């Protein structure tokens, strides 16, 4: 089910990602517990870009890390392409490409060596791996720095390499945590184009960002998360109807109860 960007129609087919009452708490610094994510539920389908918006500390990254099986939920669960994140984490990992906020580019390896390494870990055939690497180098314009060590790369180059790594094995699901953070506009556009291309290819993309314009441009549906809870979920049209606001920035602030300029509701 491939959908054109900006259409009001959203995924209506089989959910690739099914999040059910997902919660995560951590031990607090001064005793007690911190509820990072609380009973979050949503579905994402094939050919859909699902945006997860929220202020810092809202629970976006924790939610994505649980989906990527890097964190075990305190309660609730989620399915990724039919596999349960708690019971079948290895199978889930085979279904996803995950880009974390810290990029994770090896300092002493070149992008070519890094992709080759991950391709072998994914068990890709050498010919297929070489072909896929060539595709990604072309897609992200990585050829000029494909043989430059990671510690010599700019932030944009590193981010391109990290995204290429997450897409290397051509997974049906992409989980991208703030993929354009710290990037200049031209590099961010390359990333956005790659996300749209993945969507056109029918992939399921979960996309976390702080950039409202980016979310509005890329995402078919948006979930607004604050204080660990999902405050709202819907298409841009649905969110506009619900809040009476036009721009995503105003919608976002309204949903988080910050429309009058107050500083925080993240902990509500």
Residues that bind other proteins (CB under 8 A): 106, 108-109, 113, 117, 120-121, 123, 149
Smallest Cα–Cα separation from 67: which of 47, 46, 53, 52?
52
Report in angstroms how near the CB of residue 214 gets to other proteins at its nearest.
Answer: 33
Tell me the C-alpha distance between 231 and 227, whole Å. Answer: 9
| Residue among 26 and 117 whose Cβ is closer to other proteins | 117
From CA 67, how far away is CA 79, in angstroms rounded?
8
Helix/strand/coil for 58? coil
CA 265/CA 90 separation, integer angstroms: 36
Rounded to a whole number of angstroms, the minimum distance from the CB of residue 105 to other proteins is 12
Would you say 60 or 165 has its CB closer to other proteins? 165
Q: Which CB sits closer to other proteins, 121 or 193?
A: 121
In terms of CB distance, is 58 or 164 closer to other proteins? 164
Structure tokens at 215: 């979310």
- Minimum CB separation of residue 139 from other proteins in Å reads 24
| Residues recorded for the chain | 268
Task: Rank residues 12 and 107 by Cβ distance to other proteins and give the closer one.
Answer: 107
**Dihedral sign from CA coordinates of 63, 117, 139, 197:** negative
Query: Minimal distance in Å, beta carbon 170 to other proteins?
Result: 19
Q: How many CB atoms lie within 10 A of CB 163?
A: 25
Other Cβ atoms less than 10 A from the Cβ of 177: the count is 21
- Looking at the Cβ atoms of 116 and 216, the one nearer to other proteins is 116
Q: Do the Cβ atoms of 79 and 230 come closer than 8 Å?
A: no
**Shortest separation between residue 133's beta carbon and other proteins, angstroms:** 14
Listed in sequence order, the residues at least 6 apart from 87 whose beta carbon sits closer than 8 Å to its beta carbon are none
| 50 vs 145 by CB, closer to other proteins | 145
Please state the closest distance from residue 125 (CB atom) to other proteins, in A. Answer: 11
What's the closest the beta carbon of residue 150 comes to other proteins, in angstroms? 10
Residue (of 81, 39, 83) closest to 63 by Cα position: 39
């Amino acid at each position: 089910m491939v959908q054109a960007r900006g259409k009001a129609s959203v995924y209506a087919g089989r959910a690739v990602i099914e999040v059910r009452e997902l919660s995560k708490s951590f031990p607090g610094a001064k005793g007690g517990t911190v509820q990072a994510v609380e009973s979050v539920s949503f579905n994402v389908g094939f050919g859909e870009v699902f945006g997860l918006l929220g202020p810092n500390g809202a629970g976006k990254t924790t939610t994505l890390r649980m989906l990527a099986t890097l964190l075990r939920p305190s309660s609730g669960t989620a399915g990724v392409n039919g596999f349960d994140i708690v019971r079948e984490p290895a199978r889930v990992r085979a279904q996803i490409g995950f880009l974390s906020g810290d990029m994770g580019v090896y300092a002493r390896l070149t992008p070519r060596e890094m992709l080759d390494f991950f391709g072998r870990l994914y068990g890709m055939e050498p010919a297929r791996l070489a072909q896929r690497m060539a595709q990604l180098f072309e897609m992200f314009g990585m050829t000029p720095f494909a043989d430059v060590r990671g510690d010599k790369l700019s932030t944009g180059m590193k981010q391109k390499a990290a995204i290429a790594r997450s897409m290397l094995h051509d997974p049906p699901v992409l989980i991208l945590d703030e993929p354009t953070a710290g990037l200049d506009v031209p590099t961010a556009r390359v990333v956005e184009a790659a996300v749209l291309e993945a969507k056109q290819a029918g992939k399921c993309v979960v996309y976390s960002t702080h950039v409202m314009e980016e979310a509005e441009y890329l995402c078919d549906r948006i979930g607004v998360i604050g204080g660990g809870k999902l405050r709202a979920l819907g298409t841009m049209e649905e969110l506009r109807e619900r809040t009476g606001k036009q721009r995503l920035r105003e919608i976002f602030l309204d949903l988080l109860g910050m429309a009058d300029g107050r500083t925080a509701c993240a902990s509500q």
